[in-house]
Amino acid sequence: MRLVVFDLDGTITLKDTLLPYVLGYLRRAGRSRLRLVRVLPSVAAFGLGAADHGAVKSAFIRGTLGGARRETLSRWTDEFVPALLERGCAAQALAAVRAHREAGDHLVLMSASTDLYVPQIGQALGFAQVLCTGVAFDAQDRLTGALTTVNCRGAEKVRRFQALKGQYPGLRSIAYGNAGSDLAHLQLADQSYVVNASARTRRKALALGMQVLPEWLTSTCAPATVRERT
């Protein structure tokens, strides 16, 4: 058994998941997309270095989904996740997840996206553990937009990956990611795969000795196994 950690957005899925989740909910709930304007001050603050990714994410969720009831969001998640898995995932990624699952590996899904839907994706794909960004509800079970955890990106992924390695000592570790911000935690794995990455990220990954698999987004050929470097 090996410890195998997958990123979600752009690694398993073809693109970001939070924006489609939010836009789909706004359409379903009859809410105006003009709510997106509420996020502009936080985006501007981010551009000036006065806010981080977590603050922007919180503002985005608060401005668009704020006040939504937990049960209403759960019903939307029940629609969103099957559609995403059917049409929004790379065939190579799903095949790799399946190959690791069938090999008896301990699968962990680690994503900066939120627990509004990431745990359901992990469950559907057979992941044993899901690590993601938590969001808060108030006493009336309405979404507030506050984060209950540190945004699971960059340094936070490093911290969580280190914790996983401590939780499963002795297991060989494999990690998959696609973004430049993933490289820090990918370096901690015994074997790292960088997929669907930008040219800049591919160059950095290769310089760090990682294996680059740029074809996942377009390939429809599903491999039966995942090879490791020796």
Residues 6 or more apart whose Cβ sits within 8 Å of residue 170? none
> Looking at residue 56, what is its pLDDT?
81
- In the predicted model, is pLDDT for residue 34 greater than 80? no
* Per-residue model confidence as pLDDT tens digits over 162-201: 999 999 999 999 999 999 999 999 999 999 999 989 999 9
Residue 99 sits at φ, ψ, to 5 deg, of -65, -40
Q: Which tokens go with 218?
A: 């377009």
Domain spanning 3-213 has what CATH number? 3.40.50.1000
Nearest CA to 114 out of 185, 67, 65, 179 is that of 65
Q: Cα–Cα distance between 172 and 196 in angstroms, integer?
A: 24
- Hunting for tokens 């377009």 — which residue is that? 218
Residues 6 or more apart whose Cβ sits within 8 Å of residue 169? none
> Looking at residue 228, what is its pLDDT?
42
Question: Is residue 128 within 8 Å of residue 115, measured between CB atoms?
Answer: no
* Per-residue model confidence as pLDDT tens digits over 135-173: 999 999 999 989 999 999 999 999 999 999 999 999 999
